Structure 1
Amino acid sequence: MSSTTAESPRWGSVAEAAAEHGVGASSVRRWIGEGRIRAERVGPRRFRVDLDSLTEETSPGLPTPTQLVAALAALDDGDVEAIRRVAEKIYPATDGSALVFAHIWQAIGSVARVQAKAAARA
């Protein structure tokens, strides 16, 4: 669906743009309305999105490379082993679906984030 030449943008759907940046379709539609990303209307309720117009500035919910490296560097071997054990426990419930696994993992992350915030306040 998309072209990869230097002169042409990579076009994709709202859903593809959302998946590529780990956000919901409503966020992508909002960014289109705000003019933060380039898109063209292709129907009454459909857009094609210039996937190359999405940057860290237009999708602020994603970690920067610096944040990602810092977070990974904070993990020790015990942390990595604990993460592996959790992944092994939840994988059978996903029936091999990467998407289901990602949603479960995100839910676990949300719970852990709330617990970490509470611990930091204490």
Structure 2
Amino acid sequence: MSRRNVTVAEAAEHYGLSVKTVRRYIADGRIPAHRLGPKLVRLDLDEVDAVLTARTQTAETVPAVEASRDEIIRLVEAAPDLSDGQRDIIRAVLGGAPVAASNR
């Protein structure tokens, strides 16, 4: 496997991301990068491809777990008092379903 070392800007263009996003992914440890100096960073596209491919395959093999609306409403009702703003957000997420106020 040959090394394809590129700058952050070149990697961003290659993956269709912003430079800021690539830098954030590097800082978060999501993608590997090689710091060659205080401001000089290079990415090996082969390494990044391997990491991104592994994450994609893992995400595809793990079944998605979705809570039902009733379960979400039950959890909200059991939660401590919510502000009107929090209740409005939950209603919007649930598609307008009413959310009861907590009795705590």
Question: Normalised by the size of structure 2, how large is the TM-score?
Answer: 0.43
Question: Normalised by the size of structure 1, how large is the TM-score?
Answer: 0.37
Structure 1 or 2, whichever has the larger Rg, is 2
Identify which of structures 1 and 2 has the higher relative contact order when contacts are C-alpha pairs closer than 8 Å and 6+ apart.
2
Greater fraction of residues in helix: 1
